[in-house]
Amino acid sequence: MASSCVQQLCRRSTSHLRSKTSCVTLLYSTHVQNHVAGVRTADKTNAGGDLIIHGNHSIFHTSQRRQQVGVCYYSGYNASPLLPTEHRDTKELMSTDALSQIKDAQHLTETNARLETDEAVYPSASEEITDKGASHTMVSSTLPSESSSLRDYVDESETLSKLVQLGVKLWKLEQRPNVGTMLLKLDFQTDVVPRLLFLKEMGVEDSGLAYILSDNPFILKEDLENLHARVNYLKSQKFSPETVASMVTRAPYLLNFSVKRLDNRLAFYQQQLGLNSSKTRGIVARLPRLLCGSLEPVKETLRVCKIELGFKENEIQHMVMLIPKLLTSNKRKLTQIFDYLHNTMKVQHHLIVKFPQVFNSRLLRIKERHLFLDYLGTAQYDSDQPNYISLDRLASLPDEAFCTEVASATLEDFIMFQKTM
């Protein structure tokens, strides 16, 4: 069932405000020169309102159309006079010749505009403008013609305003190419609401909705049938509904991939690691982005562990099941930590396999603590010897706990030793 937050947004989105223009004020300037001097034709902009992106900067162009006839302006909704108060009665004071010149200029301008654009004929000053005709000439005075931030369009776009209410980080999305264009063209009722309801029905929490859309707004363009098919596939592979919802929340791009790709990824990990389907599901459920990223880094990591570091297949299986993140570890960091553990600290393979969490630590942290223990004469990592220190306690404990529980020293002593390195 959709939460009250999403339901409220859906109900509010169905009420549309319709503003009816009562009049269009046509103002004339008293400084009209002979015939069409200074006349400008109507500017053309994209009808859909485009977003042009240069590098990391986004410029949003709206679909406003400003029509300028001579020096006459069609103003926006409930247009107000554009001239100062003292000039508002200029029309009554004009001579017959001046009025004749203005009408001639207006006629020529309208003729040129029809030839240069495919727009409808501009109405004359005395012609009453219908609501339909006015809708083609009016421009929202509050919407900027271009901007480098989606923030300027939130008040005008229902989709953007509702996404902000959900907690979506527009500042993060506007930095990405093409995302601004996509969001401005989405209709909240037809594009966003069905996919929000889909995610809620799948079990995603409200806070998860904002995280997913902030990281993967492209899910709003995915076909609903495809989304349902991908979720049904994961459930068919014996992932529970709660696990699927958690996986999608932690790996927002998961549902952007086809069923065939998801199936190939699961088969790859099962074959490469030599695990059964249950253990493979456990690894993927804990690190769902394994199904989203490239397989080449994973292949390279497995090759390094087996060939360069000398781990056996069953040892690699054990380490990956304990720390799935090992599959996405940086090759250089992996080899550096292993080299220091095995060649400097003389830690054997079976002890590293027992505590693979050490690969998640920083090399500098391991060096500082080992050298401090070596300085104190307590660096003992052989489990068969007394005063044995496990790699887990060496790498995982906070500094204060490490000093008191492992090194039997004070934190001040450790800090002073770090300054000598």
* Alpha-helical runs (H) found in 274-362: 277-286, 296-303, 313-322, 331-339, 349-354
- Decide: 322 and 360 in contact? Cβ < 8 Å: no
* Amino acid at residue number 390: S
Question: Rounded to whole angstroms, how far apart are CA atoms 256 and 18?
Answer: 37
- The secondary structure of residue 26, as a DSSP letter, is B
Confidence at residue 151, expressed as pLDDT on a 0 to 100 scale:
66
Using alpha carbons only, what angle is made at residue 386 by residues 385 and 392, rounded to the nearest 5 degrees? 85
Alpha-carbon torsion (207, 212, 218, 224), positive or negative: negative
At residue 229, the pLDDT reads: 96
Contacts of 151 (CB under 8 A, 6+ apart): 170, 171
* CA 81 – CA 74 distance, rounded (Å): 10
Assigned token pair, 200: 């809620």
Q: What value does the CA radius of gyration of the chain take, rounded to a whole number of Å?
A: 34
Q: Are 183 and 160 in contact (CB under 8 A)?
A: yes
Ordered alpha helix ranges (H), 14-130: 90-93, 96-116
Q: How does pLDDT run along the chain (421 residues), one tens digit per residue? A: 445 555 555 455 444 433 333 333 333 333 333 333 333 333 333 434 444 333 344 444 443 333 333 333 323 333 333 334 444 444 443 444 444 444 444 444 444 444 333 433 333 333 444 444 433 333 344 555 555 567 666 777 888 888 888 888 888 887 887 788 788 888 999 999 999 999 999 999 988 999 999 999 999 999 999 999 999 999 999 999 999 999 999 999 999 999 999 999 999 999 999 999 999 999 999 999 999 989 999 999 999 999 999 999 999 999 999 999 999 999 999 999 999 999 999 999 999 999 999 999 999 999 999 999 999 999 999 888 888 999 999 999 999 999 999 999 999 999 999 998 8
Residue 147 pLDDT: 53
Report residue 69 as tokens.
Answer: 């006839």
The CA distance from 220 to 222, in Å, is 6
Residue 84, pLDDT score: 40
**What is the structure's pLDDT at 121?**
38
- Residues found in the chain: 421
Look at residue 379 in the predicted model and tell me its pLDDT: 94
* pTM of the model as a whole: 0.63
- Tell me, what's the pLDDT at 4? 54
Q: Answer whether 62's CB lies under 8 Å from 145's CB.
A: yes
Q: What confidence score (pLDDT) does residue 310 get?
A: 94
User: What are the distances in angstroms from CA 84 to CA 80, 98, 150?
Assistant: 11, 20, 34
Indicate the SS3 state at residue 43: coil
Q: Which two tokens stand for residue 371?
A: 């050298």
Residues 6+ apart with CB under 8 A from 113: 41, 42, 67, 69, 119, 122
pLDDT score at 96: 42
pLDDT of residue 9: 52
Q: What is the pLDDT of residue 7?
A: 52
Q: Give the residue among 272, 223, 215, 42 at the shortest CA–CA distance from 136.
A: 42
Q: What share of the chain is helix, strand, coil (3-state, %, to 5)?
A: 55, 5, 40
Residue 78: predicted pLDDT: 36
Q: What is the pLDDT of residues 154-193, one digit of tens each?
A: 777 888 888 888 888 888 887 887 788 788 888 999 999 9
List, as own/partner pairs, every contact residues 133-136 make where C-beta atoms lie below 8 angstroms and the sequence separation is at least 24, other chains included: 134/21, 134/24, 135/21, 136/65
The answer to whether residues 396 and 385 touch, using CB atoms and an 8 Å cutoff, is no
